[in-house]
Chains A and B, each alone.
Chain A
């Protein structure tokens, strides 16, 4: 039976955040299609890992537990995924648009001779009429992504060379636990039977992964600055406000490129996508590149010298003025009025 399939990333016995988001997105597609949700996961020391996967409503999980499969290298994971996808023949396969997913998915698409859409932000199911064949294709994956520097959204489909594959941007799909006790059939795969010795030709000599202490995605309040903040020092004003409100500081691409703020705090199409309760944009003009990553905030305050800054049209409150004046006043009146 046709299914929706998710490739899950795992490190140190923890299933990646993006993979949990994908499982939820995959479940929603599977429900629309009335088909099962399946997943695969390769790594080491995976005993009991299914408890992190099942609650998202996964019907079948393929696991390969082998010392050599973690950290990720391309060829062994590609060999395993290829074998499983060939056998299961799913309709749709999803990967994270991460450094792992963007390395693996194209290699697999080439092996499977199928289509792959990169960096999607919206997934849906729909139909398409192919004029040349005079044929209506139903239940296709709509893989929708920003394109052309973020100025347009393109709906990419693939009706003839299956599976339909997509990488999905981190932070755009909502995680949703279906049932903590969901019954998942677990299939264990012996890597030795699938992966050849020569697939391990890439040797990882050294690895430095910084556990990021920045969690923009889950922050209820974000104070973000743009190029208009002017300097690294001025960003302290934003940090002060964020600290007092219990929020995080973020920045636009222009602010990151100018060196005002660290790269891992970038919000927008090429950074993190956020949907906080409150988004305070200081000195941000509002290029599509940026607004695509924050427009779903529940409330937006824009502080800008320019009354016509594009971001103002998204904002609930527009404060026209100098952020060096406005931010300290916000701190002052918050302290005075908060309980």
Chain B
């Protein structure tokens, strides 16, 4: 079987699953800055799917691609720790404020620069927006087929890949030709842990921007080991059209945001005593709620 070239799309997201009291502002809204950032959970599943193919087909090349502020370089380092071959960071202030349409345009410009790929994988959706849109939008712009909600890759042949999809009410096995794009469902296997050897090798991996504030030792290390410098692509590097990126390229805008506030009900407070419960049941029957 021929080795594949795989691109993993991954995103750094605020951890919306754990919104603690310290992350709430006095007015009851979420303070985004207070939330920890994490590797988007579904994207970790996508990373595992890619690394698993690399295990199966030696010589397979896995490249991790992320877009975000400088802090998102953590995603690339995490990818290295777990076994990717290359990492590329798309970072430029002008990309900020992008919705899914502008994001997919930006990512596709970067993929076109990479040019050579058989398979693109990403998580089904990111927990900061839960939209599940960027994957299919990238597939459209690349004019390649998409296979969403992949749970397992069953078979890889010379010219096609066979995978099982997880739908709401069941499963579906499909075959897709290369090149194609897959989004990976959270029911697929969890990502392997970091390898100590990889951590040792890549812990000093930095982007150019990060190196600006680095000391001499770090700079000379990067001179000796150029592989530690994470490629960082700007608007110019990917030849992006300014009208199609960031806020300008985003049709959807947030008009307003409201915190969810519950209007308290007049509740009857009961104990678990027989008389309380019998009384309640009788009321429910009387009002035809039950019975």
Contact = CB atoms under 8 A, between A and B. Distances in A.
Interface stretch (B37-45, B56-64, B125-133, B209-217): B125-133
Interface string A60-98: 000000000001011100100000000000000000001
A299 B17 CA distance: 29
A278 interface: yes
Interface string A209-249: 11110000000010000000000000000000000010000
A316 B267 contact: yes
B155 to A, nearest CB: 10
A148 B252 contact: no
B115 interface: no
Contacts of A151: 16, 19, 29-30, 259-260
A51 B176 CA distance: 36
Size band of the interface chain A makes with B: 35 or more
A292 B176 contact: no
A300 B251 CA distance: 40
A161 interface: yes
Interface residues of B, number: 74
Contact of A319 (B252, B258, B276): B276
Contacts of A111: 140
Interface in B248-289: 250-260, 262, 264-272, 274, 276-278, 280-282, 284-285, 289
A1 interface: no
A30 B137 CA distance: 28
Interface string B130-166: 1111111101110001111100000000000010000
A148 B34 CA distance: 13
Contact of A148 (B128, B147, B175): B128
Given A157-B252, A204-B173, A205-B174, A321 B262 contact: no
A338 B290 contact: yes
Given A318-B267, A322-B272, A107 B139 contact: yes
Contact of B291 (A156, A210, A334): A334
Given A99-B167, A208-B171, A317-B268, A333 B277 contact: yes
Given A107-B146, A330-B281, A338-B290, A155 B255 contact: yes
Nearest to A151: B30
B291 A152 contact: no
Contacts of B270: 317-320
A107 B140 CA distance: 6
B148 A102 contact: yes
A337 B281 contact: yes
B255 A142 contact: yes
Contact of B265 (A73, A103, A158, A313): A313
A24 interface: no
B193 interface: no
A245 B289 CA distance: 10
Contact of A318 (B252, B259, B269): B269
Contacts of A117: 252
Contacts of A159: 253
Interface string A146-172: 111111111111111100000000000
A54 B117 CA distance: 47
Specify which of B99, B134, B148, B162 lies most central, judged by the most chain A CB atoms within 10 Å of its CB: B148
B169 interface: yes
Contacts of A330: 277, 281
Given A71-B172, A142-B255, A278-B289, A320 B271 contact: yes
B267 A317 contact: yes
B280 A103 contact: no
B12 interface: no
Interface string A260-304: 000010000000000001100000000010011001001111100
Given A71-B172, A107-B146, A155-B258, 19 more contacts: A74-B136, A74-B145, A103-B136, A103-B148, A118-B131, A119-B130, A148-B30, A150-B260, A152-B259, A152-B260, A156-B255, A202-B176, A204-B172, A313-B262, A313-B265, A314-B264, A319-B271, A319-B272, A337-B285
Interface of A: 71, 73-75, 78, 98-99, 102-107, 109-111, 113-119, 128, 142, 146-161, 201-212, 221, 245, 264, 277-278, 288, 291-292, 295, 298-302, 307, 310, 312-322, 325-326, 329-330, 333-334, 336-339
Interface of B: 16-17, 19, 29-30, 32, 99-101, 104, 127-137, 139-141, 145-149, 162, 167-177, 250-260, 262, 264-272, 274, 276-278, 280-282, 284-285, 289-291
The 8 closest A-B pairs by CB, nearest first: A321-B272, A115-B251, A149-B16, A161-B251, A106-B133, A110-B140, A209-B170, A118-B131
25 contacts: A98-B168, A110-B141, A114-B251, A115-B99, A147-B129, A149-B16, A151-B16, A151-B19, A151-B29, A153-B259, A154-B256, A201-B176, A202-B147, A208-B171, A277-B289, A302-B267, A307-B269, A313-B267, A315-B265, A317-B267, A319-B272, A329-B274, A333-B282, A334-B281, A337-B281
